[in-house]
């Protein structure tokens, strides 16, 4: 077959774009690179102006994913790396990460150009392909030699990683991941799990993922593989779901789930084999306690020569549901692996034993707080300080509420020098509305055996009137944020150890408030209820403030206009290039269940759909933000909601 350019015909998804200039640039770019690549590496299939598509198809399939690079013309100059692969989501991101930061270990290379384009070659086959180019600036001949030395191994890893999500996760974990990358891989794994097993996992698994990731320390996540963490998250979700169903059937009965599995940790380049224990249990009252010490005592009945892996324990107890999950890892003191008989014995006998280990807390007498928890938090903060210049670590917990004041317990750990002033002296000299109540100070370790780490535990007292909402409930989020800000003003820079997600949510809410301030008067209590009703909960820290402002104003406008004549609901739809905003108000319940059920058949990814549901003046307000730039999907989304409302209205009329 003859081709004037000796290059297959190219079709891209943006061929219908109105921006012909940009479209032509990318199409020419693909054709030029593809032409050079085929003529250089497949001369038997591409010769002169002729392309043997049958041979090209055979040759190309045998080498995909195909990786090559440009010629080096001496330093300083640029060096381009090319990848041709059958389309797979995020393959280009893996390729970029490997080339830019893994090709020369310990040194991030200077990337001057990076792009990826998806396309099809209809004369070859019906497959979708991705072509990627990463151009590096090579500053010296030595740098080029280091790149070429690592390239053979890198090429094997690249071909494995771009073709398989499993191998890409394993390769990146072996080479080390930053927290954001690991979280992204975990989210990808959980999303694939929910897609493969929709009968077991719904959108709630993403809320559980966020909850577990917030509970776990950074060290906990860094020492465990993505698959390990994903397993913990999915099991937490399944346990909580199972316990809810069991409690509905038998609310007066104790229910307990136990999962024991082998796992491995990555500790400073070494691998440690451990045993993971995940327990889910329902509590009969708020006064019941179940912690790591209860679990370890039960394990010691069967395996006395084991110990808990340091830093492996975390628990998640939600008082509103009276359910809790605990996770812990154990290892043998002599370092030997667990036998199959030992694991089998734990699985058979431990569940019944654990039910009897749940402790009933007595009312405190002369001991208003858990000192063991205080010491545990002190140690956790102390472990965060490893260098002399590390900022102080602070753990803030709500203590109690009186008629007129709120109390918070503060644990403040810092590197203490000879010239530093005691915390109580700093507060005495400071002009602050916080009343300082000292508890104790002590040295909790040393850096380089000569720089002491000091822990100070104290309480702060502040008036609660400034944190009363319109419904006379106390806004503890706001109170805690004020305490953090005042501590920073008095004590200087610090790290709020246990307030990361709370801080992110408050930042987003404050941004929405500032955007709404320009629009006129609005109900702040309604805004807060609107914001904290947003699901999934993870979206309260990652959503765009503009999107929330748009939906809130749309809700106010819909409430102002009221219902359609003769209807018991009203709907407002606002479409933009990259999102759809929907508000539905109704005077009877049930509309949310109907629309959620209809939308569930669309299988919208959890990260693309946010839902709010609040009551305003006895009117139910349901809102959706669908983040999508595909006009066909937007139209399908809107029509699905319209059909759901018609079905709901028919049911209402039938009931009447």
Identify whether residues 375 and 322 lie together within a single domain: no
Where in the sequence is the domain holding 293, given as residue range(s)?
181-360
Identify whether residues 484 and 553 lie together within a single domain: no
Identify whether residues 416 and 443 lie together within a single domain: yes
Task: Give the single-character DSSP code of 535.
Answer: B
> What is the pLDDT, as a whole number, of residue 518?
75
Q: 250 to each of 253, 284, 622, how far by Cα in Å?
A: 6, 12, 33
**3, part of any domain:** no
> What is the pLDDT, as a whole number, of residue 454?
92
- The full length of the chain comes to 656
Average pLDDT over residues 319-324: 76
**332, part of any domain:** yes
**366, part of any domain:** no
Identify whether residues 47 and 80 lie together within a single domain: yes
> Which segment of 362-376, 446-460, 544-558 scores lowest on mean pLDDT?
362-376
* Cα of 59 vs its chain's centroid, Å: 41
Identify whether residues 155 and 242 lie together within a single domain: no
- Under a CB-based contact definition with an 8 Å cutoff, are residues 112 and 76 in contact? no
**Structural domain count of the chain:** 4
**391, part of any domain:** yes
What string of H, E and C letters represents the secondary structure of 83-131?
Answer: EEEECCCCHHHHHHHHHHHHCCCCCCCEEEEEEEEEEECCCCCCCEEEE
Identify whether residues 197 and 343 lie together within a single domain: yes
Burial of 150 (0-12, 13-18, 19+ CB in 10 A): middle
Computed from CA positions of residues 31, 36, 42, 47, in that sequence, does the dihedral angle turn out positive or negative? Answer: positive
Identify whether residues 558 and 632 lie together within a single domain: yes
Half-sphere exposure of 115 (CA within 13 A, CB side): 9
Identify whether residues 467 and 586 lie together within a single domain: no
Residue with tokens 């753990």: 395
Indicate the pTM of the whole model.
Answer: 0.37
Identify whether residues 235 and 350 lie together within a single domain: yes
**172, part of any domain:** yes
Residues 152 and 17: their CA atoms lie apart, in Å, by 40
In which band, very low, low, confident or very high, does the pLDDT at 1 lie, cut at 50, 70 and 90? very low
Q: Tell me the pairing of strands 451-463 and 405-415.
A: antiparallel
Question: For residues 493 and 359, which has the higher predicted lDDT (pLDDT)?
Answer: 493
- Mean predicted lDDT score pLDDT of the chain: 82
**251, part of any domain:** yes
Element (H, E) at 478: helix 476-491
Q: List for the chain the helix, strand, coil content (%; round to 5).
A: 45, 25, 30
165 closest CA partner among 153, 154, 173, 175: 173
Q: How far apart are the first and last CA of the chain?
A: 71
Q: 639 to each of 127, 266, 564, 579, 634, how far by Cα in Å?
A: 31, 50, 19, 15, 9
Task: Give the single-character DSSP code of 474.
Answer: B
Question: For residues 520 and 326, which has the higher predicted lDDT (pLDDT)?
Answer: 326
49 closest CA partner among 1, 114, 95: 1
Angle at 43 between CA 42 and CA 46, to 5 degrees: 90
Residues 31 and 38: their CA atoms lie apart, in Å, by 10
Q: Kindly write down the DSSP assignment for every residue of 149-167, as one continuous string.
A: HHHHHHHHHHHHHHH-HHH
Q: Express each pLDDT in 114-159 by its tens digit.
A: 888 888 888 888 888 888 888 888 888 888 887 787 777 677 777 7
E-strand stretches of 531-591: 569-575, 579-586
- pLDDT greater than 90 at residue 363: no
Q: 308 to each of 111, 267, 374, how far by Cα in Å?
A: 45, 15, 20
**365, part of any domain:** no
Identify whether residues 460 and 323 lie together within a single domain: no
Residues 158 and 526: their CA atoms lie apart, in Å, by 51
Identify whether residues 413 and 391 lie together within a single domain: yes
Average pLDDT over residues 209-230: 82
Identify whether residues 128 and 226 lie together within a single domain: no
* Cα of 160 vs its chain's centroid, Å: 26
Edge to edge, what strands does the sheet with 451-463 contain? Answer: 435-447, 451-463, 405-415, 393-401, 495-496
In which band, very low, low, confident or very high, does the pLDDT at 365 lie, cut at 50, 70 and 90? very low
Residues 116 and 552: their CA atoms lie apart, in Å, by 37
């Amino acid at each position: 077959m003859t081709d004037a350019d000796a290059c297959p015909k190219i079709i891209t998804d943006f061929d219908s774009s109105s921006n012909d200039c940009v479209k032509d640039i990318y199409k020419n770019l693909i054709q030029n690179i593809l032409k050079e690549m085929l003529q250089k590496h497949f001369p038997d299939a591409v010769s002169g102006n002729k392309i043997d598509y049958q041979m090209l198809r055979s040759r190309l399939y045998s080498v995909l994913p195909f990786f090559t690079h440009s010629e080096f013309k001496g330093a300083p100059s640029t060096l381009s790396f090319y990848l041709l692969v059958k389309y797979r989501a995020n393959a280009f991101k893996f390729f970029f990460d490997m080339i830019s930061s893994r090709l020369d270990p310990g040194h991030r290379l200077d990337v001057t150009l990076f792009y990826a384009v998806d396309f099809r070659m209809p004369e070859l086959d019906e497959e979708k392909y991705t072509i990627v180019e990463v151009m590096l600036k090579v500053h010296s001949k030595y740098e080029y030699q280091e790149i070429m030395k690592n390239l053979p191994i890198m090429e094997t890893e690249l071909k494995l990683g771009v073709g398989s999500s499993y191998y890409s996760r394993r390769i990146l974990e072996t080479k080390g991941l930053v927290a954001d990358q690991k979280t992204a891989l975990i989210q990808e794994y959980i999303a694939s799990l929910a897609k493969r097993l929709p009968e077991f996992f719904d959108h709630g698994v993403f809320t559980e993922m966020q909850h577990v990731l917030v509970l776990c320390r950074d060290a906990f996540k860094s020492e465990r593989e993505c698959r390990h963490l994903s397993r913990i998250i999915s099991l937490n979700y399944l346990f909580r779901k199972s316990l809810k169903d069991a409690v509905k059937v038998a609310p007066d009965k104790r229910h307990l789930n136990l999962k024991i599995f082998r796992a491995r940790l990555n500790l400073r380049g070494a691998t440690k084999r451990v045993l993971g224990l995940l327990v889910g249990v329902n509590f009969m009252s708020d006064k019941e306690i179940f912690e790591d010490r209860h679990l370890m005592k039960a394990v010691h009945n069967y395996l006395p020569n084991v110990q808990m892996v340091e830093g492996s324990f975390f628990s998640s107890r939600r008082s509103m549901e009276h359910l809790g999950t605990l996770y812990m890892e154990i290892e043998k003191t002599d370092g030997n692996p667990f036998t199959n008989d030992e694991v089998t014995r734990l699985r058979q006998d431990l569940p019944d034993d654990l039910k009897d280990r749940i402790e009933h807390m007595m009312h405190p007498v002369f001991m208003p707080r858990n000192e063991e928890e205080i010491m545990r938090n002190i140690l956790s903060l102390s472990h965060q300080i490893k260098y002399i210049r590390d900022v102080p670590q602070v753990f803030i917990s709500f203590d109690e509420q009186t008629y007129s004041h709120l109390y918070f317990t503060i644990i403040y750990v810092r590197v203490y020098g000879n010239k530093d002033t005691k915390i109580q002296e700093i507060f005495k000299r400071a002009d602050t509305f916080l009343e300082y109540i000292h508890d104790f100070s002590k040295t909790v370790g040393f850096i380089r055996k000569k720089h002491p780490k000091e822990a100070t535990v104290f309480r702060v007292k502040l008036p609660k009137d400034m944190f009363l909402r319109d419904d006379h409930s106390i806004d503890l989020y706001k109170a805690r944020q004020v305490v953090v800000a005042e501590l920073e003003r008095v004590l200087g820079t610090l790290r709020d150890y246990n307030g990361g997600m709370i801080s992110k949510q408050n930042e987003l809410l404050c941004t929405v408030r500032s955007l709404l301030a320009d629009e006129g008067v609005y109900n702040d209590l309604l805004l807060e209820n609107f914001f904290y009703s947003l699901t999934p909960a993870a979206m309260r820290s990652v959503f765009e403030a503009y999107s929330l402002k748009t939906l809130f104003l749309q809700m106010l406008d819909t409430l102002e206009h009221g219902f359609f004549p003769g209807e018991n609901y009203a709907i407002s739809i606002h479409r933009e290039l990259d999102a759809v905003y929907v508000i539905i108000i109704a005077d009877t319940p049930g509309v949310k269940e109907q629309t959620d059920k209809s939308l569930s058949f669309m299988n919208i990814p959890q990260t693309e759909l946010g839902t709010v549901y609040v009551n305003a003046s006895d009117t139910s307000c349901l809102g959706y933000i669908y983040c999508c730039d595909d006009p066909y999907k937007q139209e399908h989304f809107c029509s699905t909601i319209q059909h759901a409302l018609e079905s709901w209205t028919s049911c209402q009329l039938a009931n009447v």
